[in-house]
Amino acid sequence: MENYGLVILCGVVAGFSARWFMLRSDYRHYPTCPHGQLTHLALGFIAAALGAVAVPALAKPDFVAVTFLVLAAQQFRDIRNMERETMMKLEETKLIKRGTDYIEGIARVFEARNYLVIMTAVLTSGAVHFWGWKYALLVGPVLIIISLRLMTGSYIGDIANVQLAQVHFENSILKVGDVVIMNIGLEKTREKILQEGLGVIIKPVDDDARLTLDAPGQRMAIIHDVVSILGSKVDVGDTELMPVIRKQIDQGYLAFFLLANEPDGEYLVEIIKRVPVLETARGTTLSSFYGRKAAD
């Protein structure tokens, strides 16, 4: 008689371990610690258990039990909706908002991670069922590494060149490089900006990158990540010190202005390079037929 208990145990351990390693609570401050993390670890355990029992159910065979995977898929879609609604509620109280594109991307990631947990659990339990428990020591870590690789995407540094630029005024017009940012009326505010303001130019490497950076959601994600780490001196109702990204309309690159609590220019550049490229903002024009023709 097949030791299905060992098969299920190995699948659950591998799947839950994958979810544990994929859990992140970083400068984006989500999920919260410890309650948000506990919620996602519990859901990861459920996903691992569902994936682990699929192989014994097919081997028995008990095809009715496999239908629970369909119910799990529906449940994890509800997780995406839950995370989206939670973050939209939190958005109402933030001075610097993530933006709906960033929120949708985070919600999709939480859903996708549970599917990766199921995949890890199914393949690990399958390896134990066919070859023995020792193979779980090989297959499990490999699948966890693959899951971590699948969860990594591209960053702004992959699609654009980021460099510091001069913050200066033409009369009362604030500019970063040659890009107009805003009109600053108060003399004291202009002096403070000249002393403490930081400016960055973000130049796309191709037309796909230009379309990505054109997206307002991608710009909001850049501002949010930078402010989450370096902070901002903006206060409620204070628009003159608000971090802003504007486009050089003729050449398509961006200029970023910030008055940070931690005015470290080199660190600012590195942070922007590590901002993720949002799926909803990603430009793919050059990969299309007409895009290739236009680029020729």
Q: Coil, strand, or helix at residue 155?
A: strand
Tens digit of pLDDT at every position of the chain (296 positions): 357 888 889 989 999 998 888 887 555 555 666 667 788 888 889 888 888 888 888 887 766 766 766 777 777 777 788 888 888 888 888 888 888 888 888 888 888 888 899 899 999 998 888 888 888 888 889 998 998 888 777 899 999 999 999 999 998 899 998 999 998 888 888 888 899 999 999 999 988 889 899 989 999 999 999 998 888 888 777 777 889 999 998 888 999 999 988 888 899 999 999 998 988 888 766 665 455 555 55
| Gap between the Cα atoms of 54 and 126, Å rounded | 9
What pLDDT is attached to residue 84? 85
What pLDDT is attached to residue 204? 93
Which stretches within the chain are classed as H helix?
4-22, 35-59, 63-66, 68-91, 100-131, 136-150, 156-159, 187-196, 207-214, 216-230, 265-273, 289-295
Q: Contact at 8 Å (CB) between 182 and 243?
A: no
Q: Contact at 8 Å (CB) between 73 and 41?
A: no
Q: Contact at 8 Å (CB) between 18 and 117?
A: yes
What pLDDT is attached to residue 1? 39
Closest CA to 131 of 270, 258, 7: 7
What pLDDT is attached to residue 35? 66
| Gap between the Cα atoms of 233 and 195, Å rounded | 13
Q: Contact at 8 Å (CB) between 173 and 240?
A: no
Whole-structure pTM value: 0.81
What pLDDT is attached to residue 44? 87
Domain boundaries, the chain: 4-150, 156-284
Cis before residue 204, ω within 30 degrees of 0?
no
Residues 6+ apart with CB under 8 A from 91: 97, 98, 103
Which stretches within 197-241 are classed as H helix?
207-214, 216-230
For 78, 87, 103, 108, 191, the CA distances from 81, given in Å and listed in that order, are 5, 10, 11, 9, 46
